Structure 1
Amino acid sequence: MRNVLEYLEHSAEKYPDKTAVEDMANKCSYKELLQNAKRIGSSLAAIETPGRPVIVFMDKSIEALTAFLGIVYAGCFYILLNPEQPPLRIQQILGVAKANYIITPGETANTLRDIEFTGKLLPYNDIINHEITEEKLQLIRALSQDIDPLYCNFTSGSTGIPKGVLVSHRSVIDFMEYFPSLFHITEADIIGNQAPFDFDVSVKDIYSTLKTGATMVIIPKKFFSIPMQLLDYLCEHNVTTLIWAVSALCMITQLKGLTYKVPQAVNKILFSGEAMPIKHLNIWKRYLPDAAYVNLYGPTEITCNCTYYPINRDFEPDEALPIGKAFPNEKVFLLDEENHQITEEGTTGELCVSGTALALGYYNNPEQTGKAFVQNPLNSRYLEPIYRTGDLAFYNRDGDLCFAGRKDFQIKHMGHRIELEEIELIINSYPGLERACCLFDTVKNRIIACYVGAMEGKQLQSRMQESLPAYMIPTAFYSLTELPITANGKIDRKKLLEVYGGNNHERR
């Protein structure tokens, strides 16, 4: 197998009239999805060269997914541009991608008129009606390779310019050969899509669906701030599988949504993106005790996830969930600062990954690619690229990896090296708090705690003295009604630091 379209073609043959994907406005069967993707592919194949990027400027929807697959039929790779992104970021992504074509619904074309783009806009409703040129599509497939790029997701870059993580068919196929079977995702499942389509969590939703013949229900973004509507939607659609960001799950428990309604059909909850606070996990487990829970870990650069930890015991509120062991066909290991491998229990090192799952690098960015994707320093005998994640981890007594923070979240304060996540773990265990995160204010040389909950700052400070040394206790506490969330569903630490770091806010 060398092309992800084989998943679609197999499922369309086996389940032609079954609903493949559903959103608020429409449903689409596997047969319709296949035919419409071929129409778009035929339209693109007449004007674009295989291997080139094609941008989809849409909200997540059936149309966006159909456009993705059509782009792949043309031998190209897709980039989702979210219309809600600021014009500057859109312009930056266009500058990196240098695409010739943007697929867009007519109503968003006006947004792009304010953006400098020298290529051509392709209205979705025009290209969806193109005649299928089967011979041309077959020729493109015959000349394809599994190392051809499939998609490019843009992440924040340290230089201020977004980096495009380019992922091949081979990497997604390698991951998908194991992911659905490990977690028992089958044609009987209804997958509730939470993640935006420009975030790699959605890759697990999309390709698990296409591979198994399941159904994917696209959940509107607006529901993730209205738990009652969200839970109604999950129940109405009999969703069985949640592959969600931690913050999305915590939003429901934080707002006590499960006291309103329990989505009884849900039997698999797989989460990633941030550390899951145990008290929020325990609420889910109390309401859905028979569901399978899995902690997933992995950066975008290694195709979704590289480790997993099935949760098969109870955890105390002040415990951290392990990130577990490597997925099959991936090597995950730790290096110390001198590039020696760490194998003993309890010693922290940088988490590194090698294997087929590695991305092709950063698109049009050889300098950043060369910094992050490097030769394995443990291997001088043959080429073995690895990705250095910048994440810190250690092995516990069971041999499971445990996340220990970011290298760039490790701070030096009062002469001590401190992991901010270690402080967060303690704060998030307190019954009076819903969610908290810690920041380091380099201007005032202080640790800041931002939190949602009923406790006062002085109460928190006093409580933390029971378990943390003085140099790890925040000196500024900000009680908020909610923590800001990024488009990818993570706590927006940058925004919090902009508001509360290096300013004259009074401590609460």
Structure 2
Amino acid sequence: MIKNVLEYLEQSAAKSPDKTAVADEHNAFTYQELLDNAQRVGAVLQKETPVRTAVPVYMEKSCNALAAFMGAAKAGCFYCLLDPTQPVERIQMILATLGAEIMIIDEKSAKKQEKLGFSGKVLKIEELLEHTPDEKEMKQLDIIRENALDIDPLYSIFTSGSTGVPKGVIVNHRSVIDFIDCFTDTFHITENDVIGNQAPFDFDVSVKDIYSTLKTGATMQIIPKKLFSFPMPLMDYLDDRKVTTLIWAVSALCIVTTLKGFDYKRPGCINKVIFSGEVMPVKHLNIWRETYPEAMFVNVYGPTEITCNCTYYIVDREFALDETLPMGKAFPNERVFLLDDNDNLITPDMPDTTGEICVSGTAVTLGYYNNREKTDQAFVQNPLNDKYNEIIYRTGDLGYYSKAGELYFSSRKDFQIKHMGHRIELGEIDMAINAVEGCVRACCIFDKDNNKIIGFYEGTPDKKTITHELMKKLPKFMIPQEFVQVASMPVTKNGKIDRNALMEGRKNA
């Protein structure tokens, strides 16, 4: 039984030592090189920090960043990617939470790192990769490995916190192994695949890219962030590097279709498109499916707190423009269920009854690092089970079953509003606007101060046309009182629509 993700790397290196494991715009490592580099980094780290402590990695995503991750795992530690483009104050809050004694940087991020005021030891990845481990260091790495448990932490990813302080989700080896084994089997990811990494390394979509690659002996091509603003070089990159598998945020797929990337080129090898993060607009999905009629398209759902994803739906039919894709079914060894406001179970024979999506299983993570209060609020005893300990994660997302018994995402609890005496899911209005001819993408926000719904949209129709179309589908109380046309939807670094930026833009217009 595998109990450490390093076994993925070691097995792939033994089988295909000279095969490219990972490549970025400027660099590449074979499997043997990645394994050797992990040992070099780990040999130094084990002398600098105790096991099961944080190793912040302050650099942009790259081959070297992945070597740092694997080196942290070699030293029995857990890694945390810190994006140098993030505000200094946010990085400082994360470092304070981690309490790290060391930090790995690269030459490119060195000047920015100086502004952080980090009091621990700073190690440069370029120097670490030149280190030659001695016999004593290698022996210590062996001892660390022998004493490792599969519940030891592997990585931390920081999500936004409602109080303004980021929360560090902490994930162990067992959760990743349990999920990735199912993920690669379910979607037939093999050594013949080339995975095109879109997600930042501090976003959990990248976990699927990294560990699907290492487990199967595939190749991961790291796509430069800048290409997602320029569809022609992006299409060239995917085609030149023979990418077969896209595990992308919905917004990234929508960028391709919005900027008409396929009018320039159809990358020839793509056969799997797996998307998450937000509800996929059907008109964008249809363009992708028309372009790749033989490819597998999969809608996956799940927050960082349950190790990437807990449900999947392999698209197997056509959908109308105002329809929503189902969430599908739970991945093996995960239980996904709905609870109402009184913690009663909502079952498939109770269609259209909305409840909070909850998850149980090995994929449920260790909680929030150094934050017992927030952990205890979200990672709780299953209220349906009073016989033994069963920690579940309450996602804060709402879902419901259709009359056909399929599970659907509704919205965030935060996006369910009370307006004019009615409970309204803003996601339902988004879908209705998305279906209007000429609308590219929509996002509705509730302005609590002025008690009105604001509909932001990207596309060509005028506000009168949109209102007219919505009146055919929605009750009057659900039609936005204000519409704001935007040139393009601002997105967060994780690829989700940036609602704060939309409201700021409206204020400054």
Name the TM tier (shorter chain).
Answer: over 0.9
**CA, structure 1 residues 88+234, in 2 after alignment: closer, same or farther (shift >3 Å)?**
same
In the aligned structure 1, how far is the partner of 2:241 from the partner of 2:406?
36
Query: Counterpart amino acid of 2:131?
Result: H
CA contact (8 A) 1:264 1:288 kept: no
Residues 452-504 of structure 1, C-alpha deviation per residue, up to 9 Å, x if partnerless? Answer: 1011112211221111111100111111110101000111012212333xx59
- After TM superposition, give the deviation of residue 116 of structure 1 in Å: 2.2
Query: Counterpart amino acid of 1:26?
Result: N
**CA, structure 1 residues 119+283, in 2 after alignment: closer, same or farther (shift >3 Å)?**
same
In the aligned structure 2, how far is the partner of 1:238 from the partner of 1:106?
30
In the aligned structure 1, how far is the partner of 2:91 from the partner of 2:464?
43
Q: Aligned pair 1:486/2:492, yes or no? A: yes
Query: Counterpart amino acid of 1:198?
Result: D
CA contact (8 A) 1:285 1:291 kept: yes
Alignment of 1:8-19 (within 5 A): 8-19=9-20
Q: Structure 1: where are the runs of 5+ without partners? A: none
Q: Aligned pair 1:387/2:393, yes or no? A: yes
- After TM superposition, give the deviation of residue 308 of structure 1 in Å: 0.2
Q: Aligned pair 1:22/2:28, yes or no? A: no
- Three-state SS of the structure 2 residue aligned to 1:405 is strand
2:475 paired residue number? 469
TM-score by length of structure 2 reads 0.98
- Three-state SS of the structure 1 residue aligned to 2:48 is coil
In the aligned structure 1, how far is the partner of 2:460 from the partner of 2:82?
39
Q: Aligned pair 1:373/2:374, yes or no? A: no
Q: Give % identity.
A: 58
2:239 paired residue number? 235
- Three-state SS of the structure 1 residue aligned to 2:51 is coil
- Three-state SS of the structure 2 residue aligned to 1:435 is strand
In the aligned structure 1, how far is the partner of 2:172 from the partner of 2:405?
31
Query: Counterpart amino acid of 1:210?
Result: L
2:363 paired residue number? 357
1:289 paired residue number? 293
Which one is further off, 123-132 or 278-287? Answer: 123-132
In the aligned structure 1, how far is the partner of 2:388 from the partner of 2:197?
41
In the aligned structure 1, how far is the partner of 2:115 from the partner of 2:62?
24
In the aligned structure 2, how far is the partner of 1:194 from the partner of 1:129?
29
Query: Counterpart amino acid of 2:261?
Result: G
Q: Aligned pair 1:440/2:446, yes or no? A: yes
1:128 paired residue number? 129
1:39 paired residue number? 40
Which of 389, 398, 402 aligns to 1:396? It is: 402
- After TM superposition, give the deviation of residue 298 of structure 1 in Å: 0.1
In the aligned structure 2, how far is the partner of 1:7 from the partner of 1:422?
42
Q: Aligned pair 1:196/2:196, yes or no? A: no
- Three-state SS of the structure 2 residue aligned to 1:46 is helix
1:64 paired residue number? 65
Query: Counterpart amino acid of 1:203?
Result: V
CA contact (8 A) 1:374 1:386 kept: yes
TM-score by length of structure 1 reads 0.98
In the aligned structure 2, how far is the partner of 1:408 from the partner of 1:360?
24
2:158 paired residue number? 154
RMSD across aligned positions (CA) = 1.0
CA contact (8 A) 2:6 2:74 kept: yes
Query: Counterpart amino acid of 2:282?
Result: I
- After TM superposition, give the deviation of residue 106 of structure 1 in Å: 2.4
- Three-state SS of the structure 2 residue aligned to 1:117 is coil
Q: Aligned pair 1:244/2:248, yes or no? A: yes
- After TM superposition, give the deviation of residue 429 of structure 1 in Å: 1.1
Q: Structure 2: where are the runs of 5+ without partners? A: none
- After TM superposition, give the deviation of residue 129 of structure 1 in Å: 1.8
In the aligned structure 1, how far is the partner of 2:311 from the partner of 2:204?
15
Query: Counterpart amino acid of 2:214?
Result: L
In the aligned structure 2, how far is the partner of 1:110 from the partner of 1:280?
41
1:89 paired residue number? 90
Q: Aligned pair 1:340/2:344, yes or no? A: yes
Query: Counterpart amino acid of 1:439?
Result: I
Which of 268, 272, 275 aligns to 1:271? It is: 275
Query: Counterpart amino acid of 1:164?
Result: G
**CA, structure 1 residues 504+210, in 2 after alignment: closer, same or farther (shift >3 Å)?**
closer
Which of 135, 138, 141 aligns to 2:142? It is: 138
In the aligned structure 1, how far is the partner of 2:418 from the partner of 2:508?
22
CA contact (8 A) 2:273 2:298 kept: yes
In the aligned structure 2, how far is the partner of 1:144 from the partner of 1:14?
24
Which one is further off, 215-224 or 459-468? Answer: 459-468
CA contact (8 A) 2:29 2:63 kept: yes
Alignment of 1:419-458 (within 5 A): 419-458=425-464
In the aligned structure 1, how far is the partner of 2:20 from the partner of 2:117?
39
- Three-state SS of the structure 1 residue aligned to 2:414 is coil
In the aligned structure 2, how far is the partner of 1:161 from the partner of 1:167?
19
Q: Aligned pair 1:176/2:177, yes or no? A: no
- After TM superposition, give the deviation of residue 263 of structure 1 in Å: 1.3
Query: Counterpart amino acid of 2:433?
Result: I
1:302 paired residue number? 306
Query: Counterpart amino acid of 1:63?
Result: N
Which one is further off, 344-353 or 78-87? Answer: 344-353
1:320 paired residue number? 324
Aligned residues: 503
